[in-house]
Amino acid sequence: MSEKPVLNSLSRPEAYQLADVFKTAPQFAAVTPRWLTRALEFKSLDSGIYRVNRVAEGETPLDMLCSQQPGDLEIPQGYIKYKTAPREYQLTAVSAILNIDTRISDIYSSPYDQAGEQIALAMESLKERQESQVINNESYGLLKNAAAGQRIRPIGKAPSPDDLDELISKVWKEPTFFLAHPRAIAAFGRECTRRGVPPAISGVYGGNFMTWRGIPILPTDKLFVDGRKKPEGKSGRTDILLVRTGEAKRGVIGLYQAGLPGERSRGLSVRLRGIDDKGIASYLLSLYCAVAILADDAVAVLENVEVGEYHDCR
């Protein structure tokens, strides 16, 4: 009597190997919306330097004479003096070298181009660093270069409507947006709710944002809480900025180098450095950027606010 063969069903791991699964492009959790660079007005440079000429301290425009009797008074004379050593902003380079095994890109580039995806991820990393530099760079960053008279401290611990009103008094000529860590925005929202004045929501720059006095509050994790993007625990200290943008408004403008070899986006270039004997392709990625504060009253800073202030609503 012959035995019948026993047929086992396909195991899950083996079935997975045979399956033609749907795939996604690489997901990069560190990428943020970067609202700040969307909201800034950018100016292209040819030489990498932007000079800001300012009127000398204490100087005012010429007094104008208004008289209904021509000839009976002398017309004021004079000229406007400028600072003899104007501020110059120089572009800084955010650079990285990306190495890609050509065997990987040759064999496994379906359905996604492996080299293209890795270059795209590297470009996103540089743009994240650019936003951080716009805020925190020692030479030109908004946080470090705001004028001393444009810095205030909160009335209490958490950011309050009164504090943001005080910021508006510092940047009262057409302020464009507040900039704050998401935890600071949440803390401000709690203070508004506690006072019975919940802030409105407005759609600008392709997103919906909390506003105060009609000014959007843009979130960024580059304004650190206790020096961290992702603070540990519920408490922590951070800063909030109010910014006016635009060259015509004597505000803040972004700067970048135009016409770069291998340019992929504004001020960012990708160039192949070569392929070595092991088949490793090397790419140089460079992003040239800076920001210029055209007038002192274009930026104000609310310093050292607490993000972990909660209220018992029972």
> Cβ(238)–Cβ(223) under 8 Å?
yes
Does residue 210 surpass a pLDDT of 80? yes
Q: Is residue 192 part of a domain?
A: yes
Lowest mean pLDDT across 26-40, 123-137, 232-246, 266-280? 26-40
Q: Is residue 241 part of a domain?
A: yes
Q: What is the count of structural domains for the chain?
A: 1
Compute the C-alpha angle 297/41/161, nearest 5°.
45
Q: Is the dihedral of CA 251, 256, 258, 264 positive or negative?
A: negative
Per residue in 246-281, pLDDT tens? Answer: 999 999 999 999 999 999 999 999 999 999 999 999
Q: Is residue 262 part of a domain?
A: no
Q: Is residue 40 part of a domain?
A: yes
Q: Is residue 20 part of a domain?
A: no
Give the residue from 80, 82, 26 showing the smallest Cα distance to 53. 82
> Cβ(235)–Cβ(307) under 8 Å?
yes
Average pLDDT over residues 227-234: 85
Alpha-carbon separation of residue 19 from 8, 15, 16, 110 (angstroms): 18, 6, 5, 15
The pLDDT value recorded for residue 128 is 95
Per residue in 38-96, pLDDT tens? Answer: 999 999 999 899 999 887 776 565 666 565 566 666 767 777 788 888 899 999 999 99
Domain hosting residue 168, numbered range: 35-55+78-255+287-306
- What's the rounded Cα separation, in Å, for the pair 299 and 216? 15
Q: Is residue 95 part of a domain?
A: yes
Residue indicated by tokens 């625990």: 233
